[in-house]
Amino acid sequence: MKAIDIENGELIWTDVDDPVPGPGEILIRNEATAVNRADLVQRSGNYPPPPGASPILGLECAGEVTGLGEGVTSFAKGDRVCALLSGGGYAEQVVVPAGQARRIPAGLSAVQAAAIPEVFATAYLNLFMEARLEVGERVLLHAGASGVGTAGIQLCRAFDNPVWVTAGSAAKIERCVALGAQGGHDRHQGSFREQVESWTGGTGFDVILDPVGAAYLADNLRTLAVDGRLVIIGLMGGAKAELEIGLMMVKRLRVIGSTLRARSVAAKSAVMDELEHRVWPLLADGSIKPVIEATLAITDAAEAHALIAGNDTFGKVVLTF
């Protein structure tokens, strides 16, 4: 089969060995995958795949089941599925544990389905499973125009959680509001702390989802409500910062570090179970939609990476086969 390989930092469309499904795995003829910022970091050599995972880029895919490993009874050949991957999405064929795949929601194309698994799993896991978000609690999503951000906005809207965002421009904030956010702050216009009084009546946020890390830590803690939870899922703004322990004690705050890719098959399958139960019906009826900025051919993967690196996209960039 063909797949994208990395040679001296460049993306090359080349021949690689066909994958073979092992026990509990399925083989998918890939029709579409999507670009995640983690792909760019892996390409740079700073985010190696977990042990045993495919070294090929790509954390999600959508296509047709063409092979079944020993013991798989939940799928049949010909089923159309999307899947959460630890790697391998930039290839014509993909092997994945059956528990990490789900049938494509009714009415959605492979292109749409490929934009779902990684970002909706990340948003749902960290908001509702890690932070244990309850109905009515206020949420702040940093990078609201990202794939995870656009998924998180829609999940909060669907499950009755007022949500605000930070993003890189007024135009992006306007689009976030159209998706369901209550309001937003342009990160180029100073600290978001200036808006918290008007947004929350001075009480602060119950949950903050943050891919920035160190640069936002102090302001995040200051803007959390009593019993607030900060979930850090990225280090775009650095990995080291001073922590105000006294503030955490007084406000009973929790800081949660979280990644998805390296979790066990069982843990990822549990997230997909939750998505199938709570989110798939909303995707099927159109209440929630994957947000796609652009669709390119897999052979244009380098161009797709450049789009993501430029920080001007809103939602996902999808690659088709």
For the chain, which residues make up each domain, given as ranges?
2-116+261-320, 120-257
Task: Give pLDDT tens digits for 93-115.
Answer: 999 999 999 999 999 999 999 99
| Under 8 Å between Cβ of 209 and 126 | yes
Please tell me the predicted confidence (pLDDT) of residue 194.
86
Confidence band for 319, pLDDT divided at 50, 70 and 90: very high
Residues 147 and 145: their CA atoms lie apart, in Å, by 7
Residues 295 and 314: their CA atoms lie apart, in Å, by 13
Please tell me the predicted confidence (pLDDT) of residue 219.
97
Task: Give pLDDT tens digits for 226-269.
Answer: 999 999 999 999 999 999 999 999 999 999 999 999 999 999 99
Has residue 211 got a pLDDT over 90? yes
Has residue 54 got a pLDDT over 90? yes
CATH number for the region 120-257 comes to 3.40.50.720
Residue 199's φ and ψ, nearest 5 degrees, are -70, -40
Rama region for 249: left / alpha / beta (φ>0; ψ in -120 to 50; rest): alpha
Domain 2-116+261-320 has CATH 3.90.180.10: yes
Residue 309's φ and ψ, nearest 5 degrees, are -65, -25
Confidence band for 197, pLDDT divided at 50, 70 and 90: confident
Residues 40 and 117: their CA atoms lie apart, in Å, by 18
Residue 158's φ and ψ, nearest 5 degrees, are -70, -35
Task: Give pLDDT tens digits for 261-291.
Answer: 999 999 999 999 999 999 999 999 999 999 9
- Give percent of the chain above pLDDT 70: 100
What's the whole-model pTM score?
A: 0.97
